[in-house]
Amino acid sequence: MFDSDKWNERFETLSKNKLRTFLTGFAVFWGIFMLVILLGAGNGLKNGITNQFQDDAINTIWIWGGRTNLAYKGLKPGRRIQLENADYTFVDDLEGTDHSSARFSVRNATASFGNLGGAYQIDAVYPDNSYIENCKQVSGRYINDNDVKEFRKVTSIGMGVVNELYKDVDPIGTYIKLNGIPFKVVGVYSEVNNREQMRCYIPISTGQRVFNYNNLLENVQMTTGDLTVPETVALAESIRENLAKNHHFDINDRRAVYIQNNSENYQEVLDIITGIKLFILIIGAGTIVAGMVGVSNIMTIVVKERTKEIGVRKALGATPLSIIAMVMQESVFVTAIAGYFGLISGIALLEVVSNIPALQHDFFSNPQVDINIAIGTTLLLVFAGALAGFFPSRRAAKIKPVVALRDD
Partner 1 sequence: MLKLNNIIKSYPVGGGKLEVLKGIDLHIKEGEMVSIMGSSGSGKSTLLNIIGILDDFDSGEYYLDGQLIDHISEKNAAHLRNSFIGFIFQSFNLIPFKNAMENVALPLYYKGIGRKKRNEMALEYLEKVGLREWAEHMPSELSGGQKQRIAIARALITNPKVILADEPTGALDSATSYEVMNLLKEVNNEGMTVVIVTHEHDISEMTERLINLHDGKIIREPILV
Q: Closer to partner 1 at the Cβ: 304 or 361?
A: 304
Return the residue of 1, 2, 5, 76 that touches partner 1, per CB under 8 A. 5
Contact of 209 with 95, CB cutoff 8 Å: no
- Binding partner 1 (rule: CB under 8 A), the pick from 93, 168, 226, 407 is 407
Contact status: 9 vs partner 1 (CB under 8 A):
yes
Q: How far is the CB of 22 from partner 1 (least distance, A)?
A: 15
Identify the residue among 49, 314, 346, 396 touching partner 1 (CB under 8 A).
314
Which parts of 316-355 interact with partner 1 (CB under 8 A)?
316-322
Amino acid in position 196: E
Rg (CA), the chain: 34
Which phi and psi angles does 15 have, rounded to 5°? -75, -20
- Interacting span for partner 1 (CB under 8 A) from 2-10, 182-190, 198-206, 386-394: 2-10
> Residue 2 Cβ, how far from partner 1 at the closest point, in Å?
15
End-to-end CA distance of the chain: 39
Residue 13 within binding range of partner 1, rule CB under 8 A: yes
List the interface residues with partner 1, window 366-405 (CB under 8 A): 397, 400-402, 405
Nearer to partner 1, 93 or 407 (CB): 407
Binding-site string for partner 1 from residue 284 to residue 313, where x marks contact by CB under 8 A and - marks none: ------------------------xx-xxx
Closest by CA position to 156, among listed 132, 179, 129: 129
What are the backbone dihedrals phi and psi of residue 199, each rounded to the nearest 5 degrees, phi first? -125, 155
Does residue 198 sit in helix, strand or coil? Answer: coil
User: Which string of x and - marks every residue 15-34 that binds partner 1 (by CB under 8 A)?
Assistant: -xx-----------------
Closer residue to partner 1 in complex, CB, 12/370: 12
Whole-number Cα distances in Å, 233 to 33, 125, 160:
43, 25, 35
Measure the CA–CA gap between 91 and 123, rounded to whole angstroms: 19
What DSSP line would sit under 17-77, residue for residue? SHHHHHHHHHHHHHHHHHHHHHHHHHHHHHHHHHHHHHTS-TTEEEEEE-B--S-BTTBPT
The widest CA-to-CA distance across the chain, in whole angstroms, is 105
Q: Which residues are near partner 1 by CB under 8 A?
A: 5, 8-9, 12-13, 16-17, 308-309, 311-322, 397, 400-402, 405, 407
